[in-house]
Amino acid sequence: MNYPASISLKEQRNLFFNNFPIRVISPAKINLYLNIIGKYKNGFHKIESIVNRVSIFDELLISVNRSNKINIFCNHKELENEDNLCFKAAKLIKEKFNLPFGFNIFLKKNIPLGAGLGGGSSNAAFTLKGINKLLDLRIPQRDLFKLGAILGSDVNFFLKDTSWGYMEGKGEKVTCLDLETKLKYLVVYPNIKLSTKVVYQNTKVGLTKFINRVNILIYLLRQKDLSLVEKFCFNCLEKSAFNLDSNLKSVKEFFERRGFFCMMSGSGSAFFTILNRYSKKAENTLKKEFYNKGWSIFEAQTY
């Protein structure tokens, strides 16, 4: 940020303190397709993925403070630390613009942790967006993407103003998909946290390559042929996740025994089904059974 030379450091500090905090909502995502197609020399996996932004939201309240520190407050106390991606996002902007003040970030988590729904990446992206708007920094989108790529592989998808995206590279290269398809989901989180890093490390690379599968799935989504969409959905990380925790496979089988399509999202451990094809009665019966098992369930739709 370039202040006029006539504004003193004290005046700079006071410039924003009378502003109201900014509130932003931070949505989740679902991977309808995720495949590892190679590996970089630095050990990162080369992926391709079709992702859908969905209506499960965390909430962020961001304000400026006089302490020159970045403070994170959260309903999950274990996230109140410098490893939190909100902290890292705020720190990047603070350093980039040499800001002479700090931030208070209040994070209300609704997206479950370790679920493969992109909660942390979304929080990082919307912290960048929120501070950009709060301070009227007018950071060009290309520069936001550079910051997003530093923070994590999924962050740039959430920086894009799109419901549907195709991700490649490490996940930082995002192409907006012009799809009008609105899907309704039932998302189940069996209260099992998985480490994205460990899931990827335990996945064999290059054994399943579907050259045209991405384009076919995009075409089917455009045609809204949900029966075939389900058949072309794919997640190469499922096997690794099931090997790490055998209870996860039973979640998928629970869906399938009742005639529902089911797939794990991202690196897990959340699972989803597409509800558009099923009756309300079948949906309600399924939800009741999940409640009885004590699993967390979310109704969501394309956002």
pLDDT digits (tens, 9 = 90+) for 113-164: 999 999 999 999 999 999 999 999 999 999 999 999 999 989 999 999 999 9
In what helix (H) or strand (E) does residue 235 lie, and over which residues does it extend? strand 234-235
Residue 143 bears catalytic tag: no
In a domain, 246, yes or no: yes
In a domain, 4, yes or no: no
In a domain, 93, yes or no: yes
pLDDT digits (tens, 9 = 90+) for 247-282: 999 999 999 999 999 999 999 999 999 999 898 998
How many domains, in total, are found in the chain?
A: 2
Instruction: Tell me the CATH number at 70.
Output: 3.30.230.10
Annotated catalytic residue: which of 88, 129, 154, 252? Answer: 154
Last residue of a domain, one of 176, 202, 234: 176
The pLDDT assigned to 44 comes to: 86
Domain identity same for 123 and 156 = yes
Domain identity same for 83 and 223 = no
Q: The whole model's pTM is what?
A: 0.90
pLDDT digits (tens, 9 = 90+) for 182-204: 999 999 999 999 999 999 998 87
Residues 6+ apart with CB under 8 A from 124: 85, 86, 88, 89, 148, 151, 152, 155, 158
262: Cα within 13 Å, side-chain hemisphere? 22
Annotated catalytic residue: which of 29, 129, 160, 252? Answer: 29
Residue 83 bears catalytic tag: no
pLDDT digits (tens, 9 = 90+) for 40-75: 888 789 999 999 999 999 999 999 998 889 999 999
In a domain, 1, yes or no: no
In a domain, 45, yes or no: yes
Domain identity same for 13 and 130 = yes
The pLDDT assigned to 5 comes to: 40
In a domain, 119, yes or no: yes
Provide the domain limits for residue 144. Answer: 9-176
